[in-house]
Amino acid sequence: MNCEEYWNDIAGPEPEEDFDTHLAACPSCAARWAAGRPVAGGLRLLAAEMKHVSAPPRVEAHLVRAYRERFRQRVPPVGEVRRWWAAAAAVLLVAGALWTGVRPPAAPLVATNSGPAAATGIEDEDSAFIPLPNAAGSPQDDDVDLVRVELPRSAVTALGMPASDDSDAESVEAEVLVGPDGMARAVRFLN
């Protein structure tokens, strides 16, 4: 290995011993190698001094905003989390009822709700809540949530309600009563 090869290939595929051998035999390259050593020590000092340097907090704030925008993410309040869980459960349960083909009795379920939107009794057939099959043995809870969801149009007929032919919509809006255990109790179609 000559000097040029040494400096060009110092970390090439050759084993490290070859480089050491060259340094031992070549005073010029050894001197050059030695000249770099104090610099390496000084660079460590510089690196240590710069360790505390980082981007200002506004960069992180901007990035987090961009992240939330990208993923449409927000931190919901605790009550809202419960409502979303309830909505998810309601959709699953209504879907489950449809899948098993169970037709529940059409008797209206009288319920009260902690929320103002649901604090109504069910008075006429069109606005009545239809109890879901899994709600048969559920207690009459005072503390139910009313959750508005979208369901497939087929859900209307599967639950024994006449489906309007006027609408081309694939889905219908419905309100679901969800008990404090997260189980859907009843559903009411809005359109």
Partner 1 sequence: MKAPESDHQLFERLRAGQEQAFVSLYHRRQPALYRFALQMSGSAPVAEDITQEVFLALLREECGYDPARGSLVAYLFGIARKLLLRQFERRRSDVPVDAGAEERRFAEPVDASNPLADLTARERVEALRRAVSSLPRRYREVVVLCDLEDVDYAEAASALGCPIGTVRSRLHRARLLLAEKLRDERDGGATVPAWKAARCAI
Q: Using CB under 8 A, list all residues that contact partner 1.
A: 7-13, 28, 31-36, 38-47, 49-51, 53-56, 58-60, 62-64, 66-68, 70-71, 73
Rounded least distance, CB 80 to partner 1, Å:
17
CB atoms within 10 A of CB 102: 13
Minimal distance, residue 182 CB to partner 1, in Å: 23
* 3-class SS of residue 157: helix
Least spacing, CB of residue 22 vs partner 1, in Å? 13
Q: How far is the CB of 176 from partner 1 (least distance, A)?
A: 26
Q: What are phi and psi of 169, to 5 degrees?
A: -65, 140
At residue 79, what are phi and psi to the nearest 5 degrees? -60, -35
CA distance 21 to 27: 11
CB-nearer residue toward partner 1: 43 or 190: 43
- CB nearer to partner 1: give 34 or 110: 34
Please report where in the chains the tokens 């009843």 appear, as a residue.
186
Written as six digits, the tokens of 172 are 């219908």
Nearer to partner 1, 71 or 99 (CB): 71
